[in-house]
Amino acid sequence: MFNKILVPIDLSQSDAGGATLAAAADRVRQGDAKLVLLTVIADVPNMVAAQLPADFSDTATQQAKAQVAELAKSHGLADDAYEVVIRHGTPYHEILSVAKESGADLIAISSHKPDVSDYLLGSVAAKVVRHAHCSVLVVRQ
């Protein structure tokens, strides 16, 4: 039913991509869906960036790529079943941009149980659900 599934993965979470990647990998096995595995590296404030090595951004990108590919492997995904995209910026903004650019027809994202701060600020998942151009599968952590 879905041809291209975007799976945003926050590598800082202990079970990064766990449930969503498992759900998406199931759909790959059921048909011929392709996955786009996205990790967004948060922008570093200019004052901090000035103290970091010049190649910090490239190194972080390469490390994130390798970590995501390792996760894909651990879920039994073949190399041609997915592509890895690393972006720098604000997670929900980049998730929405990559969903559009890649032509994803489903975003599989996880969300923690809401607490009081979520009612005031809104979560990444809530923003994605509200603004996505395509269907969104929210896996509760």
Q: Which of 111, 81, 118, 80 is nearest to 95 (CA)?
A: 111
Q: Smallest distance from the beta carbon of 131 to ligand ADP, in angstroms?
A: 13
Comparison of 32 and 115: residue with beta carbon closer to ligand ADP: 115
Q: Smallest distance from the beta carbon of 34 to ligand ADP, in angstroms?
A: 18
Q: Smallest distance from the beta carbon of 99 to ligand ADP, in angstroms?
A: 12
Label the pairing between strands 135-140 and 4-8: unpaired
Q: Which of 12, 20, 18, 9 is nearest to 74 (CA)?
A: 18
C-alpha to C-alpha distance for 53 and 38, rounded to whole angstroms: 24
Q: Smallest distance from the beta carbon of 140 to ligand ADP, in angstroms?
A: 9
Q: Which residue is nearest to ligand ADP (CB)?
A: 123
Q: Smallest distance from the beta carbon of 1 to ligand ADP, in angstroms?
A: 21
Comparison of 42 and 48: residue with beta carbon closer to ligand ADP: 42
Widest pairwise Cα distance in the chain: 48
Q: Which of 79, 17, 96, 141 is nearest to 7 (CA)?
A: 17
- Residues in contact with ligand ADP by the rule CB under 6 A: 8-10, 13, 20, 38-40, 91, 109-112, 123-125
Comparison of 32 and 139: residue with beta carbon closer to ligand ADP: 139
The DSSP secondary-structure symbol of 77 reads -
Comparison of 28 and 109: residue with beta carbon closer to ligand ADP: 109
Comparison of 39 and 72: residue with beta carbon closer to ligand ADP: 39
In Å, what is the CA distance from 2 to each residue of 28, 81, 130? Answer: 9, 13, 20
